[in-house]
């Protein structure tokens, strides 16, 4: 399996989102616990930043998945074309043997 630049497997969703989710949980807790407005506002900004970070990570994972799906579909189509061509050749050879 390929690794990403941060040395995490590219499909390890938990590893990629664990840190931002922890920061998000803390920030939301600070927002909700009735801290003075400047601290609460800073916590809300932190929460939004972490949500944006997680969305960017998910988007990167989705983009990679779409590329891999397309490559797999192309490979499947090539195998299907080869199988159909071999079948046509086999059927053509059988039909050719039946003629007098």
Q: Give the model's pLDDT for residue 13.
A: 83
Q: Where are the domains of the chain?
A: 13-98
- Per-residue pLDDT of the chain (100 residues), as tens digits, is 444 445 556 678 888 889 999 999 999 999 999 888 999 999 999 999 999 999 999 999 999 999 999 999 999 999 999 999 998 888 877 776 655 5
Q: Give the model's pLDDT for residue 1.
A: 40
Rounded Cα distance between 8 and 23, Å, is 19
Long-range contacts of 4-13 (CB under 8 A, 24+ apart): 10/61, 10/64, 11/61, 13/61
């Amino acid at each position: 399996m390929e690794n990403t630049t941060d040395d995490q497997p590219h499909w390890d969703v938990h590893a990629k989102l664990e840190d931002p989710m922890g920061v998000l949980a803390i920030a939301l807790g600070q927002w909700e616990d009735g801290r003075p407005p400047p601290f609460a506002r800073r916590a809300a900004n932190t929460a939004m930043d972490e949500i944006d970070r997680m969305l960017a990570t998910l988007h990167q994972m989705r983009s990679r998945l779409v590329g891999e799906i397309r490559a797999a579909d192309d490979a499947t189509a090539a195998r299907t074309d080869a199988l159909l061509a071999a079948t046509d050749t086999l059927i053509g050879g059988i039909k050719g043997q039946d003629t007098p």
